[in-house]
Structure 1
Amino acid sequence: MGCGASAKPTKPPDPPSETEKAERKADHSEDKKAAQLENKEYEARMRFLDQVPLMKRLPRDERPIVAEACEACEFQNGDVIIQQGDPGDAFYVIRSGEARVFVQTNEGQDQVASLKGGDYFGENALLRDEPRTATIIASSRLLAFRIRRDKFQELGLNAKLQFANRKAVGTGMKVMVKSKPPTPKTPEDVELISLALQKNENLATMTTLDSSRLQSFIEVMWKEEVKAGERIISEGDMQADYFYVVAEGQFEVTVSDASNEESGVDHSEAKAEFHQRTISHVAPGGSFGELALLYFVPRAATVTASTDATVWVIDRTQFKSILMKASDSKIRAYVKYLDKVSILDALLAEEKKQVANALVEMHFASEDRIIQQGEPGNMFYIMYEGDVDIDKDGEVVATLSAKSKSGTVHFFGEMALLENENRTATVTVKSPDAKCLVLDRESFNLLLGPLKDIIEAAREGRQRPERAAPEAQGCLAENRTKIKRSDLKRIGLLGCGGFGAVELWEHSKTGQTFALKAISKGYIVKTGMQESVMNEKSILAMTNSLFITRLYETYNGTQTLYFLLEPCLGGELYSTYVRKSMYGSEKHCRFYSAGVILAFEHMHQRRIIYRDLKPENLLLTEDGQLKVTDMGLAKFVIGKTYTTCGTPDYFAPEVIASTGHTNAVDWWTLGILIFELMAGHPPFESAYPMQIYAKVTKGIGKVPFPSAIKANCRSLIENLLKNEAVERLPMKPGGVKNLTEHKWFSEFDWEALMGQTMPVPYKPVVKSRKDLQNFVARKEDAPRTIEYVDPGTGWDKDFATSH
């Protein structure tokens, strides 16, 4: 109709008939019912999804988007929903019906769980492509919601996930463990305890239970009476220091409804019916609490006496000291070797023991040159196994043969402990292999001072000055521009954990930003971490690497200690990998692992063992460069140290066995990191620490490698994850060069990386020096405040470098 046209009158519609009215009413009623059903369906989806741990890591306002992305699907009795070994690309929540979970083992297919409405499985498939770890078969008509990974990522949900860090354990806390005198035991008592210890598979993972060691454990145990209803262990209890063997009575083991802990098989594919409050019962001859023998960690379950009972008890300190007796016998053998080295005659018995503890094992292969004539030397060798030729000016002048069984040892290069003279002969391995104990001059000088001074003092009959045990002595440059805490203003929260919080602060005059790590002094004193925190400060001050976060200042408040660090606003590598789907990329993994190698080389040159490598402790700068952070578990060590600590997924075999460890543990953790960045999960992964340790003991040879890990990468991982520490690639002759020249790094430009001129594989979006977008701090991770009452010991008096 045109603008000026006149409209013809229209006839009003006929009123609806009664039939039409009834039909319309019925349609409206159906629409209302459909809307109500849709709302109920939506609420059901939301309710189901709120139970899933992965979904809890999404901000609440993003969860409705997931609910919308859910597809309804149906399976009949006998249908295979997922097949073990198949690549996973979808996550399922069961609405109604039942299913069974099967795991294929060498012995056949075992049913390990049953599932019903509200249970879920396959959540990791939303994050990464990894094979299914179980087969799930419908055992009735089954209705489920399904979310596919491509849809999840298309909606950008993986970029919005918030992650809690895997927690490190066993930080060498100086908390006194109360022991009791041993209780006399009858032959029947000895037999019961002995069988209980041998029956405990977790203990067998931790240590070799030979008759001598069993006897040592039994000798120190004491008896305690427990009344019916009495809790002997409480879930979450920080005082987790004892292991128990049940002599009489019964105990019930329970976990809280919120806990996913259970005893038995790892069921990472499913959250299932077996997560009950009561998880087991322990009868006479049973035992519990073995994790407390390894390290300090809150209890994972509650153990209550069902009847009046009697238990045998051993504490962590006693257990560890028995394990270390094997190391003591080794040290005594080393001292005997040192007694045969005439140049060390001036050392006191205690000094020889210190030197023995600093000796490092090194293995050589046939035709390896241990010493090259004419080259400067700084290493002293004691060969206890193998044959070598001594060659001078191209002529073999002697052949030495050593046998550990007969106690025949040979030493060479001892003059290197005195001064930096050129070697006078070449030493070449002639046997299939040779095993040596090695000490370098710098380590000797750090321990005891120059050997020349010791010999001169002994010759002149004068007493040499006493030396304190060597410690990390780091200090910040005195000529630096000091940064006062009063000149800083808070920008926002970067992250938080049990210890305190890390916040971004800005200097009010320069505009420079810093990460301020705050640790509760009440928490430090309660957990006995005074020495550990002071040590962290010293170690940070000792390091000066482009691949380690820089320390600017430390402050001492009335309730809090502060570390002022360089900010790395690109975010954590852990959350970056998940959000950006980087798992399986060789380019990214090679770049980040190379940065770790250079950080470790820097630390090891300064006698620092790091001990807590994991993606959560790697940060990215705004330019995409990698930085190793958090020196909380790092330690200055000459030789071996015995504290069981780190993150369970990354524990090396010698850490689990408590036999003492060297910087070789760091190279083990590098192997774990490379595997995790390529596969999307660590190689020995399990929800339960003891299962991780059992897998570690069996070795990397039992671990299936995903197709993403190609031959050269696999070779590198396998050569880092050697159960024998001395067999790890950088621990062999050649050291770190063995890594940098490995085929996996064949075309890698190390010089460009060292100068940070290499193009980064990923550059984070950082809009300004105040941009917090790459960090998502969760309020629920905020630490509890523990009021600090000064004990008057002055433990923190030297902490502050500025005010």
Structure 2
Amino acid sequence: MGCGASAAPEAPPEPPAHDRSKDKKADGRLEEYQARMKFLDQVPLMKRLPKDEHPIVAEACEACEFQPGDTIIQQGNSGDAFYVVRSGEASVHVNTNAGREQVASLKGGDYFGENALLRDEPRTATIIATTRLLAFRIRRDKFQELGLNLKLQFANRKAVGGGMKMPSKSKPPTPKSPDDIELITTALQSNENLATMTTLDSARLQSFIEVMWKEEVQAGERIIVEGDLQADYFYVVASGEFQILVDADASAEDSLNQTDKVVNRVAPGGSFGELALLYFVPRAATVVAATEATVWVIDRGNFKNILMKVSDSKIKEYVRYLDQVSILDALLAEEKRQVANALVEMHFAIDDLIIQQGEPGNMFYIMYEGEVDIIKDSAVVATLDARSKSGTVHFFGEKALLENDVRTATVIVKSVDAKCLVLDRESFNLLLGPLKDIIEAAREGRERPERVVPGAAAGCLAKDRPRIKRSDLKRVGLLGCGGFGAVELWEHLKSGQTFALKAISKGYIVKTGMQESIMNEKYILAMTNSYFITKLFETFNGTQTLYFLLEPCLGGELYATYIRKGLYGSERHCRFYTSGVVFAFEHMHQRRIIYRDLKPENLLLTEEGHLKLTDMGLAKFVIGKTYTTCGTPDYFAPELIASTGHTNAVDWWTLGILTFELMSGRPPFESAYPMQIYAKVTKGISKVQFPPAMKGNCKNLIEQLLKNDPVERLPMKPGGVQNIKQHKWFSDFDWEAAENLGLTAPYKPTVKSKRDLQNFVARKEDAPRHLEYIDPGNGWDKDFATSY
């Protein structure tokens, strides 16, 4: 071998056959592991786990095999495992009154039973293998043994419709030919979602058609953009064709790209955008003209006004009743209209005692249907018979609007039922001031005494309280994120006390027209003082942000607690938490505040495990009815959907939904699509199947709260909130101890210190994008801050 030459490297020795076999097995395991990871990445529940936990889940997967005809899960059986289909096919069957029918099929990449990892609930379908089927399976006990249920991050259900004060822009109506009217009429009548929202009688149809205008749309033009906040219009296609596209990852600014998926097409006579007529919500899809097209348009404002005409006619009818009450003669026409709008409907049954002789009275009654006996000193002195069809109405108790005199007679219902419109003296005084002062002012020919507006005056924090400056606070960490901003834990440098600081983007407030709503939230928080409602300490006004400084509830959200701890179906827990809601509602309703957004996400736990109602963003000071459609779709009451006006009865509806959810793990009218929820709500609770844990008294309570007619809900009947407290489901519950926080909570969270964040899982990446605020210069926020 010559100098400088290099020898050729020797080939590595061939590994023994058994080593090559090991390598192949290792490659196979790696391939299977990667397959598991890929499948798990597609499952919504797994997306709620931090990424670094996915390998642990993959390791927990069991490979399983089913032969054609094998039943994988059986409808009605309790489920304790989750499956991901690797290969093969299966059919999905549901038992109905007509027998078992196939509703879907599954193939590789599909999954089912994910809720079984969180709670014990009956399977909702039967799944049968139609070919040889390979799957991954995870059992609940393994999932919980690994502590994965405690690490899940849950996106809260979002409320809709709150505070929008920016009127939708409408255009003058366009003249319509008979063919136009026929096309629009057919389109409106064939839209099932509209039928869910309102009764489409001929008068309403004509009113809708009269205000609609025509617009021309160019091919390729985006008439609706996914994520757009300006969602105010409903469209009927007169000519041309539209494509509906969805891309979960696309931004509103770049909704049309190669990843957009066409999910539907709308031809002439079709319609879209009906959800925008109900409430403010960002658009859920992009709609683009596939050809040149023409559409007929109606805006939310016109649509709501037409629905409210029915309410307006009722108010006029009530004013006619009030015109017959002599002690109200001093009221101006507009004042009578205010009183009419504040009247609350009540229903009584035979032998119900409406008024008791000798007792103090503060209620005035207008009976428009039914028969009652008037009894003085045990003798019937008159019988009053009211019939709405003939316009015969009767009044009693009107002097209660003047003073707190004792009742001079007893009134007992004689007919099967009696229907009355009711107003209490306090509500009258809040509306117009004392009636006695109004009558005296009218008699003397002078101006009415100035009335103190409720809310702004009542909603002031005590001036002698210790003030907290924002500069004296130090950030501890993040508690949660929402579409508005974030909630963080901050520590007071001098006292060491911690607070929850809720920050709301002023840019977002102005963009969505929520200025009045935010000011209202501050006043309502200041008006409340209950163990069961989060306490407000201060409000701050920054250049880009408004801040609420609130008491911290470091036990975490009830929503996440129930999921992670598997508390669904426990009567003990459900009774304890719903009692806290009852106390919170009782406190708010006494102050004429309607809450409107009950859900487990808005219920927090203190470190002792007691309940606190939070987030007053949709709460409102109301005497009588209000008409804004808002709340969380799963919890919508029928009157919210119909936009016919609502009272505090909507809160008792939401209590019924909450009770059902805490006992079953899901709301009763649940669906992935809001309009399907509303259709189920309209059909009523009688169409809902109750799980076994909710039979008997629990089922009865829920049914009594989920009455489609608001006046029939249990606390709206004579007896009020006591009807709930005395219900058999609470027969062994100590309400007095619960009200004074004397009951030991059934679950006590682990809270190590005032700075402990462990019961909250929040990520910076969930925080909303900054929306720059440019001051409009109208001073809308000048009274927001209580401290600096």
Using the size of structure 2 for normalisation, the TM-score is 0.96
The amino acid across from 2:271 in the alignment is: S
Correspondence 1:120 to 2:133: no
Tell me what 2:362 maps to: 378
User: Which of residues 621, 638, 654 in structure 1 aligns to 2:639?
Assistant: 654
The amino acid across from 2:728 in the alignment is: K
Aligned length: 768
1:29-50 per-residue CA deviation (whole Å, 9 max, x = no partner) reads 0101101110111111111111
Q: Is the 8 A contact 2:660 2:668 kept in 1?
A: yes
Tell me what 1:423 maps to: 407
Q: Is the 8 A contact 2:438 2:449 kept in 1?
A: no
The Cα of 1:465 is off from its aligned counterpart by 4.4
1:676-720 per-residue CA deviation (whole Å, 9 max, x = no partner) reads 000010000001000000000000000000011131111110000
**3-state secondary structure, aligned to 2:228:** coil
User: Which of residues 344, 350, 359 in structure 1 aligns to 2:328?
Assistant: 344
User: Which of residues 447, 468, 475 in structure 2 aligns to 1:463?
Assistant: 447
Unpaired runs of at least 5, structure 1: 1-20, 260-274
Q: Is the 8 A contact 1:385 1:409 kept in 2?
A: yes
Q: Distance in 2 between matches of 1:198 and 1:79?
A: 45
User: Which of residues 574, 577, 588 in structure 1 aligns to 2:562?
Assistant: 577
Correspondence 1:543 to 2:528: yes
Tell me what 2:6 maps to: none
**3-state secondary structure, aligned to 1:708:** helix
Tell me what 1:271 maps to: none
Correspondence 1:321 to 2:312: no
**3-state secondary structure, aligned to 1:801:** coil
Change beyond 3 A, Cα 1:344–1:257: closer
**3-state secondary structure, aligned to 2:694:** coil
The amino acid across from 1:594 in the alignment is: S
Tell me what 1:272 maps to: none
Tell me what 1:552 maps to: 537
Q: Is the 8 A contact 1:162 1:778 kept in 2?
A: no
Tell me what 1:209 maps to: 200
The Cα of 1:276 is off from its aligned counterpart by 9.4
1:713-754 per-residue CA deviation (whole Å, 9 max, x = no partner) reads 111100000000000000000000101111111111111111
Tell me what 2:255 maps to: none
Tell me what 1:129 maps to: 120
Correspondence 1:511 to 2:496: yes
Tell me what 1:226 maps to: 217
Q: Distance in 1 between matches of 2:335 and 2:586?
A: 28
Tell me what 1:353 maps to: 337
User: Which of residues 391, 399, 411 in structure 2 aligns to 1:407?
Assistant: 391
User: Which of residues 659, 662, 671 in structure 2 aligns to 1:677?
Assistant: 662
**3-state secondary structure, aligned to 2:500:** strand
Q: Distance in 1 between matches of 2:102 and 2:204?
A: 37
Tell me what 1:200 maps to: 191
The Cα of 1:469 is off from its aligned counterpart by 6.1
Change beyond 3 A, Cα 1:106–1:238: farther
Q: Distance in 2 between matches of 1:466 and 1:425?
A: 35
The amino acid across from 2:282 in the alignment is: P
The Cα of 1:279 is off from its aligned counterpart by 1.7
Tell me what 1:605 maps to: 590
Query: Which piece of structure 1 moves more, 641-650 or 127-136?
Result: 127-136
Correspondence 1:256 to 2:240: no
Query: Which piece of structure 1 moves more, 227-236 or 656-665?
Result: 227-236
Using the size of structure 1 for normalisation, the TM-score is 0.94
Give the 5 Å matches for 1:655-734: 655-734=640-719
1:531-566 per-residue CA deviation (whole Å, 9 max, x = no partner) reads 111000000000000000000111111111111100
The amino acid across from 1:690 in the alignment is: M
Give the 5 Å matches for 1:490-509: 490-509=475-494
Q: Is the 8 A contact 2:48 2:153 kept in 1?
A: yes
The Cα of 1:466 is off from its aligned counterpart by 5.7
Give the 5 Å matches for 1:771-782: 771-782=756-767
The amino acid across from 1:689 in the alignment is: P
Tell me what 1:8 maps to: none
1:71-128 per-residue CA deviation (whole Å, 9 max, x = no partner) reads 1111233333223333222111111122333334445544443332212111111111
Give the 5 Å matches for 1:283-294: 283-294=267-278
**3-state secondary structure, aligned to 1:281:** strand
**3-state secondary structure, aligned to 2:27:** helix
Q: Is the 8 A contact 1:553 1:565 kept in 2?
A: yes
Query: Which piece of structure 1 moves more, 184-193 or 571-580?
Result: 184-193
Query: Which piece of structure 1 moves more, 315-324 or 111-120?
Result: 111-120
User: Which of residues 16, 27, 37 in structure 2 aligns to 1:25?
Assistant: 16
Unpaired runs of at least 5, structure 2: 1-11, 251-258
Change beyond 3 A, Cα 1:101–1:225: farther
1:190-233 per-residue CA deviation (whole Å, 9 max, x = no partner) reads 11111111111111110111110111001001111112222211
Q: Distance in 2 between matches of 1:133 and 1:256?
A: 29
Tell me what 2:734 maps to: 749
Q: Is the 8 A contact 2:568 2:664 kept in 1?
A: yes
Query: Which piece of structure 1 moves more, 745-754 or 377-386?
Result: 745-754
Query: Which piece of structure 1 moves more, 779-788 or 528-537?
Result: 779-788
The amino acid across from 1:725 in the alignment is: P
The Cα of 1:363 is off from its aligned counterpart by 0.3
User: Which of residues 396, 401, 406 in structure 1 aligns to 2:380?
Assistant: 396
Tell me what 2:5 maps to: none
Root-mean-square deviation (CA, aligned residues, Å) is 1.6
Query: Which piece of structure 1 moves more, 550-559 or 455-464?
Result: 455-464
Correspondence 1:183 to 2:167: no
The Cα of 1:277 is off from its aligned counterpart by 2.3
Q: Distance in 1 between matches of 2:23 and 2:337?
A: 86
Q: Distance in 2 between matches of 1:533 and 1:618?
A: 20
Q: Distance in 2 between matches of 1:107 and 1:245?
A: 36
The Cα of 1:788 is off from its aligned counterpart by 1.2
User: Which of residues 430, 433, 436 in structure 2 aligns to 1:452?
Assistant: 436
Tell me what 1:142 maps to: 133
The amino acid across from 1:216 in the alignment is: S
User: Which of residues 30, 46, 53 in structure 2 aligns to 1:39?
Assistant: 30
Q: Distance in 1 between matches of 2:516 and 2:570?
A: 40
User: Which of residues 722, 738, 744 in structure 2 aligns to 1:737?
Assistant: 722
The amino acid across from 2:582 in the alignment is: I
Percent identity over the alignment is: 80
The Cα of 1:467 is off from its aligned counterpart by 4.6
Correspondence 1:304 to 2:288: yes
**3-state secondary structure, aligned to 1:532:** helix
User: Which of residues 483, 495, 516 in structure 2 aligns to 1:531?
Assistant: 516
**3-state secondary structure, aligned to 1:598:** helix
Tell me what 2:603 maps to: 618
The Cα of 1:758 is off from its aligned counterpart by 0.8
Correspondence 1:100 to 2:100: no
Q: Distance in 2 between matches of 1:247 and 1:134?
A: 41
The amino acid across from 1:131 in the alignment is: P
Q: Is the 8 A contact 2:455 2:524 kept in 1?
A: no
Q: Distance in 2 between matches of 1:468 and 1:116?
A: 67
Tell me what 1:236 maps to: 227
Q: Is the 8 A contact 1:418 1:452 kept in 2?
A: yes
The Cα of 1:134 is off from its aligned counterpart by 2.7
Correspondence 1:64 to 2:48: no
Q: Distance in 2 between matches of 1:659 and 1:175?
A: 21
1:118-173 per-residue CA deviation (whole Å, 9 max, x = no partner) reads 12111111111222223333332221111111211122111111111100000031
